[in-house]
Amino acid sequence: MKIIVAADYDEMSKLAANHVAQWVRQNPKAVLGLPTGGTPLGMYRNLIEMHRGSNLSFKDVTTFNLDEYVGLEPHHSNSYRYYMYENFFKHIDVQEHNVNIPDGTAEDLEQECIHYEDKIRNAGGIDLMVLGLGNNGHIGFNEPSDRFPATTHVTKLDESTVQANARFFERIDQVPRYSITIGIGSIMRCRRILLLASGKAKARAISAALEGPVTPSLPASILQFHPDVTVILDAEAASKLTNAV
Ligand code: F6R
């Protein structure tokens, strides 16, 4: 595991964008796994700038989003599909048919999960998965639990996740309670992982995930067993690490 500590959010975002851009330049047909939330917004902004200014193309890239709320229509301004188009996809040359986001309005959600997992397999697996981190140590929406979920599944969001996500909604009762998420097994099968975290609120989860015991009660801790993980943190998120580089 390689841990890089940036001075602040802007530097973390630039380093993260460079990491993704380098991979895409070397592998124009790369399959990327992508998160939403506050953390990757700066990375997406930097990638858009590189697309505009320095020829970074996503024309042959395939993307799989980590998760989507259950029950929000795709055009809903809080859906992750909407977020991805607003903050990234509509500004780059990725092709619509190469974009994959779970359908949280599918009539048969179990079938949608199986279908999503099949699509990842048929694409040859994910080359580079970018992850954010929940304050409670979740990755995707794999919440603290007594087991590591293997594949894409429907998950009930923790109360703390609902509280954290409420900042994007007008009222807390509008935050969906369920989502579809790629499973921990699916994340562990990705060839490379880039984990990003910024801010003091992530410091405890980062130190537990990277330096504590591997346990499903802190899902990100499983990344200690992955052979190719890069972690890019800002100084605040790294502040509780004892062995930060
Ligand atoms: C979102 C996702 C979540 C977030 C995490 C951190 O697609 O998979 O695991 O990465 O909740 O969210 P932010 O970045 O808003 O702190």
Query: pLDDT digits over 138-151, tens only?
Result: 999 999 999 999 99
The answer to whether residue 168 sits within a structural domain is yes
Q: How far apart are CA 196 and CA 192, in angstroms?
A: 13
The answer to whether residue 131 sits within a structural domain is yes
* CA nearest ligand 1 atom 11, residue: 134
Q: For residue 30, is pLDDT > 80?
A: yes
pLDDT digit string (tens) for 144-182? 999 999 999 999 999 999 999 999 999 999 999 999 999
pTM: 0.97
- Residue 21 burial by Cβ neighbours in a 10 Å radius (0-12, 13-18, 19+): middle
Q: Which member of 138, 142, 153, 236 is catalytic?
A: 138
Q: What is the CATH number of the domain that holds 158?
A: 3.40.50.1360
Number of domains in the chain: 1
The answer to whether residue 236 sits within a structural domain is no
**pLDDT interval class at 20 (50, 70, 90):** very high
| Percent of the chain whose predicted confidence (pLDDT) is above 90 | 98
The answer to whether residue 67 sits within a structural domain is yes
Distance 98 CA to ligand 1 centre (A): 22
**Closest CA relative to residue 229, chosen from 17, 19, 27, 8:** 19
The answer to whether residue 238 sits within a structural domain is no
Domain coverage including residue 145 = 2-231
The answer to whether residue 169 sits within a structural domain is yes
Q: For residue 245, is pLDDT > 60?
A: no
Q: Which structure tokens are listed for 63?
A: 């993307």
**pLDDT interval class at 243 (50, 70, 90):** confident
Q: Which residue has the tokens 């380093």?
A: 15
